[in-house]
Amino acid sequence: MRIGALEAGGTKMVCAIGNENGEIVKREVFPTTTPEETMPKMIAFFKDEEIEALGIGCFGPISPARDSADYGYITSTPKLAWQNYNIVGEFEKALQCPVGFDTDVNAAALGEATYGITKGLKNSIYITIGTGIGVGVLAEGKLLHGMMHPEAGHILLHRHPADTYEGWCPFHKDCLEGLAAGPALEKRWGAKGDTLTDRAEVWEMESYYIAQACVNYCMILSPERIVLGGGVMKQQALLPLVREKFTELLAGYIRTKEVTDVENYIVGASLNDNQGVMGCIGLALQAMRENG
Ligand code: ADP
Ligand code: ZN
């Protein structure tokens, strides 16, 4: 089976062809400029491949619920050219095949749950800590949308006592994303994250924020496993520190076999940075099932 996957990001569009086993056979990347410029390139890529379905994991906010009036649209994104753009409708018209659609992070959560480290679990989350922070949620076997979709990168937390940086989120200043995404590291410490490896205080503070977020998600969503991905998590020291602080902050309140085994509870992404694209294949397969 030939399946199309589109990981739609604010800077680049990763287009790929794969099969139902999550194997990627072809990939091409286009810069995200305007729909007028970028859409025809992507449509041409997929049209040549005679795909049976397409899955899109998209930057947002988006409208992913099939029964909502603006289903398939990118909605209030700060990327103005894509605001209120019916990306699903345009691909359906051009390719005449089922199209699955969800957030980029829900796609990554589905990728890990279908082909990766959360396979077999009905409840898991995928947190990306990169240029922004986002969380994809699989709850009772389904990707969680709720009213729209979770925006769990923008939760509010306790500030680290030694942190004087105001935060960079244009909406909330010191939400999780404003304090702990890659740009926050760079602005607080005056250097890019990948050059700060030897600064213990950087990862002490960073892990405090990520661990708080993990505690909050654990309490609210009760996931069976938490996956941490994104560029900042490439920092080797971070994952063990997050686990340690998570256990400390949980303070023995939850004692399931999952959280007690913290090394298997909070884990790194497992699919070599392909979790997003592979999740898009999962979204395409879902769309095929829904279309009968
Ligand atoms: P995006 O979120 O744009 O899809 P990434 O997940 O790759 O992209 O995240 C990019 C961010 O991660 C940048 O802010 C970058 O500085 C940061 N980053 C990349 N590698 C590292 C590293 N080894 N340590 C800390 N931060 C890193
Ligand atoms: Zn925010």
Give the residue extent of every domain in the chain: 3-106+273-290, 117-268
Distance 179 CA to ligand 1 centre (A): 14
Check for a shared fold between 3-106+273-290 and 117-268. yes
* Superfamily (CATH) of domain 3-106+273-290: ATPase, nucleotide binding domain (3.30.420.40)
- Whether ligand 1 lies within 6 angstroms of the CB of 10 is answered as no
Across all residues in the chain, what is the average pLDDT? 97
The rounded distance, in Å, linking the Cα atoms of 179 and 168 is: 7
Q: Of how many residues is the chain composed?
A: 292
pLDDT digits (tens, 9 = 90+) for 100-114: 999 999 999 999 999
Query: What percent of the chain stands above pLDDT 70?
Result: 100
Secondary structure letter of residue 157 according to DSSP? -
Q: How many CB atoms sit inside 10 A of residue 290's CB?
A: 10
- CA nearest neighbour of 14 among 37, 39, 42, 54: 42
Strands 124-129 and 85-86, by their bridges, are unpaired
Confidence category of residue 292, pLDDT binned at 50, 70, 90: confident
DSSP H or E run through 46: helix 35-47
Which ligand 1 atom minimizes the distance to the CA of 131?
2
Q: Provide the CATH topology of domain 117-268.
A: Nucleotidyltransferase; domain 5 (3.30.420)
Identify the three-state secondary structure at position 246. helix
- Whether ligand 1 lies within 6 angstroms of the CB of 35 is answered as no
pLDDT at 232: 98
pLDDT at 238: 98
Give yes or no for a contact between 107 and 57, defined as CB atoms under 8 angstroms apart. yes
pLDDT digits (tens, 9 = 90+) for 140-195: 999 999 999 999 999 999 999 999 999 999 999 999 999 999 999 999 999 999 99
Distance 278 CA to ligand 1 centre (A): 20
- Whether ligand 1 lies within 6 angstroms of the CB of 193 is answered as yes
pTM over 0.75: yes
pLDDT digits (tens, 9 = 90+) for 190-210: 999 999 999 999 999 999 999
Distance 172 CA to ligand 2 centre (A): 5
- pLDDT of 78 over the 90 cut: no
pLDDT at 243: 99
pLDDT digits (tens, 9 = 90+) for 101-150: 999 999 999 999 999 999 999 999 999 999 999 999 999 999 999 999 99
pLDDT digits (tens, 9 = 90+) for 43-55: 999 998 999 999 9
Secondary structure letter of residue 276 according to DSSP? H
- Whether ligand 1 lies within 6 angstroms of the CB of 194 is answered as yes
Distances (CA, A) of 210 to 41, 46, 169, 204, 240: 38, 38, 16, 10, 12
Distance 103 CA to ligand 1 centre (A): 19
- Whether ligand 1 lies within 6 angstroms of the CB of 234 is answered as yes
- Whether ligand 1 lies within 6 angstroms of the CB of 187 is answered as no
